[in-house]
Amino acid sequence: MALISNIAAGIVAALHLGFLALEMFLWNSPFGRRTFGLTPEFAKESASLAANQGLYNGFLAAGLIWGIALGPAGFGVKVFILACVIVAGVFGAFTARRSILFVQALPGLLALILVLLAGAS
């Protein structure tokens, strides 16, 4: 069960590394604008805000990778970071786009459930 929970946490980390890349490096690109439904003008004006948001996503990924690397001692780290992912996803769903609930919060919740089940066994 620990392996499955680490794979789930790793998938969430990979998602957040993808968010980092989109927000920090691809925001102004045609792909980034299409992904987020942005006009070129808005993308240019909001690029620094998106980069900041991307950096935070990178910290979430780093925390999950750290928790996985710690092995059994990383249980608390993974629980905390996954809880942060869920809260950020729910907040994003209410304040930005509803799809964030499914792209960020739901994978975080599923991974958290698996981590908690693995920790209970």
Q: What is the pLDDT of residues 109-118, one digit of tens each?
A: 999 999 999 9
pLDDT digits (tens, 9 = 90+) for 66-77: 999 999 999 999
50 contact partners, CB below 8 Å, separation of at least 6: 23, 24, 27, 43
DSSP state, residue 29: S
User: What pTM did the predictor assign?
Assistant: 0.94
Q: How far apart are alpha carbons 95 and 79 in whole angstroms? A: 24
Check pLDDT > 80 for residue 121: no
- pLDDT recorded at residue 34: 96
What's the pLDDT tens digit per position in 56-96?
999 999 999 999 999 999 999 999 999 999 999 999 999 99
The total number of structural domains in the chain stands at 1
Q: Is 27 exposed, middle or buried, given 0-12, 13-18 or 19+ CB atoms closer than 10 A?
A: buried
Range of the domain at 95: 2-120
